[in-house]
Amino acid sequence: MTAVQAPPGEPATAGQVARRRWRRSRGILVAVLALLVLGVLLALMRPRTGSETLDPDSPGQDGARALVEITRRHGTPVTVAHTASDAAERLRSQPDAVLVVVRSERLVAADLTALRGAPGDRLLVTPSSETLSALAPGVEASGSAWSTPAPGCTLPAAAYAGDADFLGATTYKAPGEATTCYFDGLGGAGLVQLPMGGATVTVLGSSRLLTNQHLAENGNAALAMNLIEGRAGVVWLLPDLPAPGSGGHKSFSELLPFGVKLAVLQIVIAVVLVALWRSRRLGPVVVEPLPVVVRSAEAVEGRARLYRSRRATDRAAEALRAGALERLTALLGMPRSAASDPAMAAEIVAAVAAHTGQEQAVVGAALYGPPPVDDAGLVSLAGVLDDLERLVRNS
Amino acid sequence: MTLTGRTGLLAALGAVVLVIVPSWWTLLAVDGVLAALVVADLVLAGNVRRLRLHRSGDTNVRLGEEATVALIVENPGPRPLRARLRDAWPPSAGSSPRTVTVTIPPGERRRVETRLVPTRRGDRAAVAVTFRSYGPLGLAARQLNRAAPWTVRVLPAFPSRRHLPAKLARLRELTGQHVALIRGQGTEFDSLREYVDGDDVRSIDWRATARRADVVVRTWRPERDRRIYLVLDTGRTAAGRVGDIPRLDCSMDAALLLGALASRAGDRVDLLAYDRRVRARVEGAARTEVLTAMVRAMAPLEPELIEADAAGMVSALLSRVRQRCLVVLLTDLNTTAIEEGLLPLLPQLTAKHLVVVAAVSDPRVTEMAAARGDSAALYDAAAAERARADRRRVTVELRKYGVEVVDAPPDEIAPALADAYLSLKAAGRL
């Protein structure tokens, strides 16, 4: 059996084509798939924020009612504020209270100013970057914790509580005077406490450990209680959604996280690299002189168009008659020169009439008559000449 | 050097790392690592400069057929070569495959074959061999062009060679492989031999018979050793395309058939290609090699877009030819070119030589002349009739000088010219 060999470089079957395409594109497909899986994983690990997240009145999984109720039972009054000004007012009336700020992404610049002016300690739970810079200057978000770290610090609240739920928590870099706990191994800490004036500001990177669902796990409850108890009271600020337009104007680039900006820069670099890859030719461009393409019949076609544009029926008729005469005289066995000789006209007409059975006047008008004046005349003349030629040929 | 798609892909994946760990240091680390990998890949890629290249394969190919040229790549270096290779040829050489991936371990050699299906006549020279040698990671490659000279001469297709057996049969019929007894046109004295029963008594040579005891007859054989000079006009009229091929190629085809036929018939065949200077000349080639020589001489000929110099051509011809010969002029029956160029010079040629003008007519003109229907078709027909009338007039004028004219469409010109030659030979006019 001999198989038909496809020439190299050309696939023979649909299967080969499919295999080749798969070989070419599998790298990109695997990369896209990897990106997709990574994106899904990151999205799954992100703490979800719903309408009831850390709501002190909510008994749902993400609510914080358990913590608030326990705190109240332990004798610490908890007041819930829904606006920053309300919270600031309450703090002013009881300066020893601790302010717990949750869902701080809802706070606008004016709210932050109001809160900064208020006295007392603060516990910022997964604060937004604006809140962080306004209420805990010097502390910056650095990354995420990928494990459940041990406290690893001397802060009593953390040391007593032991392990807490910091998986996926935001970690922070803090200035030197701050106390940091729950390290992520990359220099970031999940819990930062820094003194500010006479008070302390605590930044907690995980909101998970405060929720009803997870409060009972590990040392979560202990850590949470240690952070907010022992004060004259707790002001729990769960800001309402700010009124539209009250947040002040922010440009698009200000809203983008720093990481996304860096990623865009990196993608620009990648695009430049891809452009460099694609722009490099494999070898030189080969040039060669090409022959001129001139059709041999071009001059004849040009003359035909010239006839047509000028409606040169006379010249066209003359040429058609000359051709017909040439063929007729040859068929009738006359000398070659007869066709172009006017003296032979009568003889040719007579011979053609005799062979075709047409009247001499008709034949004479067709072969030597006045030229047609329009296209219709030319068409009919050509028809008559063709008929004469056919009749002579068949006679 | 050059990069690969993998580099870009890795850089894009770096963006994900930056989203997770946003810092300028991360950016620097990601791109630094990438750059280090690229540099390492470049350093570890196989050396192209030290490769040894050899060529082998076909040097001649007939137009329309396939040639194979091999490139042998030898890797004397210590590192394996993993490369993409492009053997670059001019576009009309029709080379394939365009690129090949080769892997050559150190100290070994690999053979890469390129198939050429040329689309035009002439010499096709290999341009360069480009290597893109990848490093072990496939992130970057060294790229270099290396010279590996090779030339393939694309010979005329000679499609009319299929007519050769028929024409040779006619030639044999005409001349006979054995000597003829009857003196006639197109024969010359061959030898004397003894009379045998059945010989024509008219061929008895009485003088020789008188000298010897036997009756002796004269034998005759066809004319031989005539000289045929083929003249190819490579001027502007040869550039026009008849169908899809230049008129020059049709003329070449006819010239080759005639050359093959005449050399078998025992005539000497010479070739001259001329427009304003001598483009090619084949003279005094041995009978068995004349066809090869003609084909090789014709291969690189291209029509020039200039008016041919008829006077120069006639003098180039006359300066080389002493004895009477058959001059076959392969040109076009272009009214101005013939009337102003050739006609005034014809007496010089026809005085001593027999001249045949072979011209390729355009089937398109015939097609236009037969067009009927509306007025546009009739204007086409009229213009075509006019062109044919001009052609006829030129033919008549040429015939007045005793010139034979062969005017035929491209697929018939070669056999028509061969037939004209055979009838001239039969008539003893050579």
Dump pLDDT digits (tens) for A65-102: 888 888 888 888 888 888 888 888 888 888 788 888 88
Q: What pLDDT, on the 0 to 100 scale, is given for residue A2?
A: 40
Q: What pLDDT, on the 0 to 100 scale, is given for residue A387?
A: 92
Is A121 within the bounds of a domain? yes
Q: Where are the domains of chain B?
A: 1-155, 187-222, 227-426
Query: Above pLDDT 90, what percent of chain B?
Result: 62
Using the predicted structure, report yes or no on whether residue B408 has a pLDDT greater than 70.
yes
Q: Does B180 touch chain A (CB under 8 A)?
A: no
Chain A residues with beta carbon closer than 8 angstroms to that of B145? 283-284
Q: What is the mean pLDDT of residues A21-38?
A: 88
Q: Does B37 touch chain A (CB under 8 A)?
A: no
Q: What is the mean pLDDT of residues A297-311?
A: 93
Q: What DSSP line would sit under B165-222, residue for residue?
A: HHHHHHHHHHH-SSPBSS--TTEEEEEEEE--TTS-GGGB-HHHHHHSSS-EEEEEEE
Best interface-test mutation with B: which of A266, A306, A321, A386 has the largest number of B CBs within 10 A? A266
Q: Smallest Cα–Cα separation from A153: which of A194, A124, A123, A125?
A: A194
Q: Smallest Cα–Cα separation from B41: which of B84, B76, B101, B1?
A: B1
Q: What pLDDT, on the 0 to 100 scale, is given for residue B200?
A: 76
pLDDT in tens, A151-190: 778 788 888 888 887 777 888 888 878 888 888 777 788 8
Adjacent-strand bridge partners of B141 = B2, B134
Residue B202, classified by CB atoms within 10 Å of its CB into exposed (0-12), middle (13-18) or buried (19+), is exposed
| The pair of three-digit structure tokens given for residue A98, joined into one six-digit string | 């601790």
State the nearest Cα–Cα gap between B429 and chain A, in angstroms: 25
Q: Do B305 and A292 touch (CB under 8 A)?
A: yes
Q: What pLDDT, on the 0 to 100 scale, is given for residue B86?
A: 94
Report how many Cβ contacts below 8 Å link chain A to chain B: 211
Q: What pLDDT, on the 0 to 100 scale, is given for residue A305?
A: 94
Average confidence score pLDDT of chain B: 89
Q: Smallest Cα–Cα separation from B372: which of A234, A387, A76?
A: A387
Please, which pLDDT band fits residue A246 given cuts at 50, 70 and 90?
A: low
**What phi and psi, each to the nearest 5 degrees, are found at residue B140?**
-145, 160
pLDDT in tens, B309-348: 999 999 999 998 888 899 999 999 888 888 888 889 999 8
Q: What pLDDT, on the 0 to 100 scale, is given for residue A357?
A: 86
Q: What is the mean pLDDT of residues A42-63?
A: 77
Pick the CATH number of B1-155 from 2.60.40.10, 1.10.1740.10, 3.40.50.720, 2.160.20.70: 2.60.40.10
State the nearest Cα–Cα gap between B387 and chain A, in angstroms: 7
Using the predicted structure, report yes or no on whether residue A145 has a pLDDT greater than 80.
no
Chain B residues with beta carbon closer than 8 angstroms to that of A42? 20
Q: Smallest Cα–Cα separation from B259: which of B293, B234, B233, B235?
A: B293
Chain B residues with beta carbon closer than 8 angstroms to that of A308? 375-376, 379
Q: Does B98 touch chain A (CB under 8 A)?
A: yes
Q: Which of A240, A264, A289 is the last residue of a domain?
A: A240
Q: Which of A189, A212, A240 is the last residue of a domain?
A: A240
Please, which pLDDT band fits residue B295 given cuts at 50, 70 and 90?
A: very high
What is the rounded distance in angstroms from the CA atom of residue B55 to the CA atom of residue B68? 11
A9 or A213, higher pLDDT: A213
Chain A residues with beta carbon closer than 8 angstroms to that of B14? 266, 269-270
Q: Does B5 touch chain A (CB under 8 A)?
A: yes
Chain A residues with beta carbon closer than 8 angstroms to that of B28? none
Adjacent-strand bridge partners of B129 = B87, B146
Q: What is the mean pLDDT of residues A241-245?
A: 73
Longest CA–CA span in chain B (Å) reads: 125
Contacting residues for B313 by C-beta, under 8 A, at least 6 apart? B231, B233, B272, B274
Is A364 within the bounds of a domain? yes
CB B427 within 8 A of CB B220: no
Q: What pLDDT, on the 0 to 100 scale, is given for residue A380?
A: 92
Helix or strand run (H / E) with residue B84: strand B81-88
Dihedral sign from CA coordinates of A14, A19, A24, A30: positive
What is the rounded distance in angstroms from the CA atom of residue A148 to the CA atom of residue B173? 108
pLDDT in tens, B22-68: 889 999 999 999 999 999 999 999 999 999 999 999 999 999 899 99
Q: Which of residues 39-58 of B touch A (CB under 8 A)?
A: none
Query: Above pLDDT 70, what percent of chain B?
Result: 96
CA A258, chain centre distance (Å)? 21
Strands A189-196 and A199-204: antiparallel
Q: Smallest Cα–Cα separation from A169: which of A206, A213, A139, A141?
A: A206
The boundaries of the domain holding residue A356 are: 310-394
Nearest residue, CB atoms, B382 vs list A264, A293, A320: A320
Q: Do B378 and A382 touch (CB under 8 A)?
A: yes
Using the predicted structure, report yes or no on whether residue A49 has a pLDDT greater than 80.
no
Q: Do A259 and B20 touch (CB under 8 A)?
A: yes
Q: What pLDDT, on the 0 to 100 scale, is given for residue A10?
A: 55
Q: DSSP letter at A351?
A: H
Q: Do A258 and B386 touch (CB under 8 A)?
A: no
pLDDT in tens, B116-171: 999 989 999 999 999 999 999 999 999 999 999 999 999 998 899 899 999 988 88
Instruction: Examine the domain organization and report whether A328 and A229 are in the same domain.
Output: no
Please, which pLDDT band fits residue A278 given cuts at 50, 70 and 90?
A: very high
Q: Which CATH class is domain B227-426?
A: alpha beta
Describe the crossing of helices B375-400 and A298-310 by its angle, rounded to 10 degrees.
130
Q: What pLDDT, on the 0 to 100 scale, is given for residue B178?
A: 46
Instruction: Examine the domain organization and report whether A84 and A231 are in the same domain.
Output: yes
Using the predicted structure, report yes or no on whether residue B201 has a pLDDT greater than 70.
yes
* Measured CA distances, A228 to A101, A212, A284, B96 (Å): 12, 16, 74, 79
Please, which pLDDT band fits residue A248 given cuts at 50, 70 and 90?
A: low
Chain A residues with beta carbon closer than 8 angstroms to that of B386? 300, 303, 319, 322
Instruction: Examine the domain organization and report whether A226 and A347 are in the same domain.
Output: no
Burial B168-190 (b: 16+ CB within 10 A, else e): eebbeeebeeeebbeeeebbeee
B153 or B218, higher pLDDT: B153
Q: What is the mean pLDDT of residues A235-261?
A: 78
What is the chain A residue with the closest CA to B387?
A300
Which residue's entry shows tokens 């695997």?
Answer: A30
pLDDT in tens, A95-122: 788 888 888 888 888 888 888 888 888 8
State the nearest Cα–Cα gap between A39 and chain B, in angstroms: 9
Residue B300, classified by CB atoms within 10 Å of its CB into exposed (0-12), middle (13-18) or buried (19+), is middle
Gyration radius (Cα) of chain B, Å: 33
Strand, coil or helix: A24:
helix
Nearest residue, CB atoms, B19 vs list A263, A280, A316: A263
Average confidence score pLDDT of chain A: 84
Cα angle B195, B196, B198; round to 5: 115
| The pair of three-digit structure tokens given for residue B159, joined into one six-digit string | 């499609």
A309-313 own/partner pairs: CB under 8 Å, 24+ apart: A311/A374, A311/A375, A312/B379, A313/A371, A313/A372, A313/A373, A313/A374, A313/A375, A313/A377, A313/A378
Q: What pLDDT, on the 0 to 100 scale, is given for residue A344?
A: 86
pLDDT in tens, B235-268: 988 999 998 889 999 999 999 999 999 998 888 9
Q: Which of A240, A255, A287 is the last residue of a domain?
A: A240
Q: What is the mean pLDDT of residues B364-381?
A: 90
Q: Do B13 and A27 touch (CB under 8 A)?
A: no
What is the chain B residue with the closest CA to A303?
B383
Instruction: Examine the domain organization and report whether A105 and A230 are in the same domain.
Output: yes
Nearest residue, CB atoms, A143 vs list B21, B113, B372: B21
State the nearest Cα–Cα gap between B351 and chain A, in angstroms: 26
Please, which pLDDT band fits residue A1 given cuts at 50, 70 and 90?
A: very low
* Measured CA distances, B179 to B183, B192, B201, B215 (Å): 10, 11, 16, 18
Chain B residues with beta carbon closer than 8 angstroms to that of A335? none
Q: Smallest Cα–Cα separation from A102: which of A202, A200, A190, A184?
A: A202
Q: Do A276 and B2 touch (CB under 8 A)?
A: yes
CB B251 within 8 A of CB B121: no
Dihedral sign from CA coordinates of A157, A162, A163, A164: negative
Using the predicted structure, report yes or no on whether residue A4 has a pLDDT greater than 90.
no
Please, which pLDDT band fits residue B187 given cuts at 50, 70 and 90?
A: low
What is the rounded distance in angstroms from the CA atom of residue A324 to the CA atom of residue B155? 43
Q: Does B248 touch chain A (CB under 8 A)?
A: no
Q: What pLDDT, on the 0 to 100 scale, is given for residue A44?
A: 80
Please, which pLDDT band fits residue B218 given cuts at 50, 70 and 90?
A: confident
Q: Kindly report the number of other CB atoms within 10 A of residue A83's CB atom.
A: 16
Q: Does B121 touch chain A (CB under 8 A)?
A: no
Q: What is the mean pLDDT of residues B364-376?
A: 90
Q: Which range has the top average pLDDT, A189-193, A273-277, B331-335?
A: A273-277
Q: Does B302 touch chain A (CB under 8 A)?
A: yes
Q: Do B16 and A9 touch (CB under 8 A)?
A: no
Q: Do A294 and B27 touch (CB under 8 A)?
A: no
Which residue's entry shows tokens 């290609």?
Answer: B273
Half-sphere exposure of B355 (CA within 13 A, CB side): 26
Instruction: Examine the domain organization and report whether A137 and A232 are in the same domain.
Output: yes
pLDDT in tens, A332-365: 888 888 888 888 888 889 999 988 888 888 889 8
**What phi and psi, each to the nearest 5 degrees, are found at residue A298?**
-60, -40
Best interface-test mutation with A: which of B37, B114, B386, B398 has the largest number of A CBs within 10 A? B386
Q: What is the mean pLDDT of residues B12-24?
A: 88
Which residue's entry shows tokens 């009857």?
Answer: B182
Q: What pLDDT, on the 0 to 100 scale, is given for residue B53?
A: 94
Chain A residues with beta carbon closer than 8 angstroms to that of B101? none
Q: What is the mean pLDDT of residues A365-373?
A: 89
Using the predicted structure, report yes or no on whether residue B181 has a pLDDT greater than 60.
no
Q: What pLDDT, on the 0 to 100 scale, is given for residue A63?
A: 85
Which residue's entry shows tokens 């008539």?
Answer: B427
Chain B residues with beta carbon closer than 8 angstroms to that of A288? 90-92
- Among the residue ranges A15-19, A54-58, A123-127, B402-406, the one predicted with the least confidence is A54-58
Q: Do B90 and A286 touch (CB under 8 A)?
A: yes
Chain B residues with beta carbon closer than 8 angstroms to that of A319? 382-383, 385-386, 389
Best interface-test mutation with B: which of A173, A265, A273, A326 has the largest number of B CBs within 10 A? A273
